[in-house]
Amino acid sequence: MLGIVRHARASAPGYPALCRAFSSASSLISTASAAALVGQPGVRFIDVRDPRIFDAGHVAGAANAIEFFSYLATSTPVGVNHLARTFERVLTEKGVLTTDRLITYEDSMRGMYGASCRGWYLLR
């Protein structure tokens, strides 16, 4: 498992409240460090893999958000705003709170091409 701690960037214009609420701190963490956080209050694991793979097995309590791999947006102000609203909706529907520490993960860098890294980047 690859773990990436995310916190969203608050400075992007048009970012909705959920995205603005995340702090700017971010870092890579080891598998052992991530494992120690499973089940901890205020920590949510975001599995970016295909829902079929997620259903076959995932970190306990993780939310599945393949949108970090599949969603495409333009870099225009309208596109950035749509991206922010889309991920606010996706994460809110999955029960993610503005106070949660999110850890995005996947099972390898093959196939998903670093979608967990993309998740971190989109939410930083």
pLDDT in tens, the chain (124 residues): 444 444 333 333 443 443 434 434 456 788 888 899 999 999 999 998 889 999 999 999 999 998 887 777 778 888 888 888 888 888 899 998 888 988 888 876 566 667 777 777 777 6
CA atoms within 13 A of residue 71's CA, in its CB half-sphere: 21
3-state secondary structure of 73: coil
Output the six-digit token pair for 123. 């939410």
- The CA-to-CA distance between both ends of the chain, in Å, stands at 20
